[in-house]
Amino acid sequence: MTFEDVKIIAPAESPNTDGIHVGRSDGIKIINSFISTGDDCVSVGDGMKNLLVERVTCGPGHGISIGSLGRYSHEENVSGIKIINCTLQETDNGLRIKTWPSAACTTTASDIHFENILLKNVSNPILIDQEYCPWNQCNKQVRTKHAL
């Protein structure tokens, strides 16, 4: 499936307004588009494989996010993500990977490529957050294995 020449606009102060959310899919392309929302421009959920995001302009908002991952026990791995020739402007974050602490599963995110990204007035250009915990909805205790 290809999304091309898409324009999405929502007020910058609107909560939970991801522009495009993809997950549990293979081979999606988002190209030559403009996304301005109050949340993630592009949000990548679990199970996403072989995603291409190319020539996309984002902002304002939260940038492009992979995750959050690890909150639920049935999540699938993420792989083959390419973010190429994109512009992020006036965003809180540029490129972000989010995982929950004390993850309920061993979901992995691999084969991720960020290439030729232009950042304009971005607070956190690249953010890897392994303790993503919005609104304190998680258990930050470290899981340990106990011998029997």
- Please report the domains of the chain, with CATH numbers, ordered by start residue: 2-136 (2.160.20.10)
* Rounded Cα–Cα distance for residues 94 and 84 (Å): 13
Q: Region 123-132: what's the mean pLDDT? A: 94
| pTM of structure | 0.90
On the question of pLDDT at 146 being above 50, the answer is no
pLDDT band at 139 (very low <50, low <70, confident <90, very high): low
Mean pLDDT of the chain: 92
* Rounded Cα–Cα distance for residues 67 and 72 (Å): 12
Residue 74: per-residue pLDDT: 93
pLDDT band at 17 (very low <50, low <70, confident <90, very high): very high
Question: Of all residues in the chain, what percent carry a pLDDT higher than 90?
Answer: 76
On the question of pLDDT at 83 being above 80, the answer is yes
CA 97 to chain centre: 6
On the question of pLDDT at 103 being above 80, the answer is no
On the question of pLDDT at 96 being above 90, the answer is yes
Active-site residue, selected from the candidate residues 18, 39, 40, 46? 39
Instruction: For residue 98, give the DSSP letter.
Output: E
Active-site residue, selected from the candidate residues 18, 40, 46, 62? 62
* Rounded Cα–Cα distance for residues 61 and 49 (Å): 24
Assigned token pair, 111:
């084969």
Name the 3-class secondary structure at 33.
strand
On the question of pLDDT at 141 being above 50, the answer is yes
The H or E element spanning position 23 is: none
* Rounded Cα–Cα distance for residues 80 and 52 (Å): 8
Assigned token pair, 3:
């999304």
On the question of pLDDT at 60 being above 50, the answer is yes
For residue 39, indicate whether it is catalytic.
yes
Residue 97: per-residue pLDDT: 97
For residue 21, indicate whether it is catalytic.
no
